[in-house]
Amino acid sequence: METPQNLAELLNADGFKSIPKSFIREILKVTAHSDIISFAGGLPNPAFFPVQEIQAAAMKALEKDGRRLLQYGESEGYRPLREYIAARYKQKHNLEVDPDVILITNGSQQGLDLVSKVFLNKGDRVLMERPAYLGAIQAFSAYNADIRTINLLDDGPDIERLTEILDKQKVKLFYGIPNFQNPTGISYSIEKRKQVAEIMNRFPSLFIEDDPYGDIRFSGENLPPIKSYLNEQTILLGSFSKTISPGMRMGWVVASKEIMQKLLIAKQLTDLHSNNLSQRVIYQYLMDNDFDNHINKINETYKRQCDLMVEAIMEYFPHDVKVTQPQGGMFLWLTLKESQNTMELFKIAIKEKVAFVPGNSFYPKNDCHNTMRLNFSNSDEIKIKQGIKILGNILKRNSS
């Protein structure tokens, strides 16, 4: 039985008219159970999921405090976990964060939804990097934001353009991923971080600093978050998805006290509070294990996989293809000749059992056709070589 037309017409919330299903998640479905070499997803390497440690942590957490854990919890999140996160900012970045202004969310994606909910009215202007994280484009679009983009250069956003836009237009939020951006792998240099902070500081506008990959640095030195320079004017998002487990959906938001009060209301009416079981299990895991040692192991492997993929690209791809050189994260970004269309290449590649994400999805207006994103975290070294070779041949065949 179909929904009658007059009912289907009710499905007309403004923000939803223009949002397509995530193409990436659709690709994931195609590639999940098949013999395809997939560089498409944004999946961490499951070899590093600490299954046994999580099992032990689950046992312990349920033993120690089972009834409390299975009951409703506080909307803010489990206090000891928030204290751990605060202490880690202090230790890693010498950043003072009060646990009171940390809200535990279902992955950092929910942080974007909650921030949108409390800030955005229809038509409010939001700045994003170009290209930008697809999940954020979708989240802001659902709240009818007017999205503008700023080119992402090799060392961060185009500062001249940022100044120009802020000078001319009222901008509510500027969203960026300063560490190993999705989709490009690009990081902001320390100078760019300072410049962004300095410029933002002159305008009544907030910087949304999304940092899901910060811990996944495999070369170069840790750089301070922009929040270090732009404290109360920054909303900082973090996540355990890339270090412990994405399936447990655990992220957080750090904001000022005033913003946190509103985010908390948004959290209450969205889903009351985050999953207690996962919060307690992750906390117990962090207490009983050497987290940094675990992260180092991930990073050693990711570095090898990243290096290998870059080398293979150098070897097999046409020489006019431009590739980023990330110091961490999970992605490479390729820019082909203007005349290329990666959506067309995708259709060919999928027939030859290799998948990637055509870059077009990462532009809010879908107006760039010659880029692609490659994920290196979730393929072993043999598949990386094989897959890149196949892609290289397709590119060469189609570049004349």
Which positions from 178 through 237 interact with a copy of itself, judged by CB under 8 A? Answer: 204-206, 231-233
Residue 142 Cβ, how far from a copy of itself at the closest point, in Å?
A: 6
Residue 10 Cβ, how far from a copy of itself at the closest point, in Å?
A: 6
Per CB under 8 A, contacts with a copy of itself among 23-52 are: 25, 28-29, 41-44, 46-47, 49, 51-52
Residue 74 Cβ, how far from a copy of itself at the closest point, in Å?
A: 7
One-letter amino acid at 170 equals K
Q: Considering CB under 8 A, how many residues would be counted as binding a copy of itself? A: 100
- Interface with a copy of itself includes 1 (CB under 8 A)? yes
Residue 73 Cβ, how far from a copy of itself at the closest point, in Å?
A: 6
| Own/partner long-range contacts of 350-355 (Cβ < 8 Å, ≥24 apart) | 350/30, 350/36, 352/390, 352/394, 353/34, 353/35, 353/36, 353/37, 353/390, 354/36, 354/37, 354/38, 354/39, 354/387, 354/390, 354/391, 355/27, 355/30, 355/31, 355/36, 355/37, 355/38, 355/39, 355/40
Per CB under 8 A, contacts with a copy of itself among 78-117 are: 105-107, 109-110, 113, 117
One-letter amino acid at 30 equals V
Three-class secondary structure of residue 340 per DSSP: coil
Q: What value, to the nearest 5°, has the Cα angle with vertex 69 and ends 214 and 76? A: 50
Query: In angstroms, how far apart are the furthest CA atoms of the chain?
Result: 66
Residue 383 Cβ, how far from a copy of itself at the closest point, in Å?
A: 17
Residue 53 Cβ, how far from a copy of itself at the closest point, in Å?
A: 10
Residues 228/295/181/386 CA torsion (nearest 10 deg): 170
Residue 319 Cβ, how far from a copy of itself at the closest point, in Å?
A: 35
Among residues 220, 247, 292, 382, the one that binds a copy of itself under rule CB under 8 A? 247
Contact segment (CB under 8 A) with a copy of itself among 1-9, 161-169, 313-321, 351-359 equals 1-9
Per CB under 8 A, contacts with a copy of itself among 266-305 are: 266, 268-278, 281
- Interface with a copy of itself includes 377 (CB under 8 A)? no
Residue 271 Cβ, how far from a copy of itself at the closest point, in Å?
A: 4
Which residue lies nearer to a copy of itself by CB, 91 or 261?
261
Contact segment (CB under 8 A) with a copy of itself among 158-166, 242-250, 310-318, 322-330 equals 242-250
Alpha-carbon distance 211 to 182, whole Å? 10
CB-count exposure of residue 244 (10 Å: 0-12, 13-18, 19+): buried
Which residue lies nearer to a copy of itself by CB, 216 or 313?
216
Which of 354, 397, 385 has the alpha carbon at shortest distance from 372?
A: 354
Per CB under 8 A, contacts with a copy of itself among 123-182 are: 135, 138-139, 141-143, 172
Among residues 11, 293, 319, 400, the one that binds a copy of itself under rule CB under 8 A? 11
Alpha-carbon distance 149 to 146, whole Å? 10
- Interface with a copy of itself includes 16 (CB under 8 A)? yes
Which residue lies nearer to a copy of itself by CB, 20 or 220?
20
Phi, psi for 249 (deg, rounded to 5): 50, 60
Which residue lies nearer to a copy of itself by CB, 41 or 392?
41
- Interface with a copy of itself includes 347 (CB under 8 A)? no
- Interface with a copy of itself includes 350 (CB under 8 A)? no
Per CB under 8 A, contacts with a copy of itself among 53-82 are: 54-55, 58-59, 62-63, 66-75
Structure tokens at 148: 């503008």
Alpha-carbon distance 85 to 240, whole Å? 10
E-strand stretches of the chain:
37-38, 102-105, 125-130, 146-153, 156-157, 173-176, 206-210, 234-239, 251-254, 322-323, 331-335, 354-355, 357-358, 371-375
Alpha-carbon distance 241 to 251, whole Å? 7
Residue 266 Cβ, how far from a copy of itself at the closest point, in Å?
A: 7
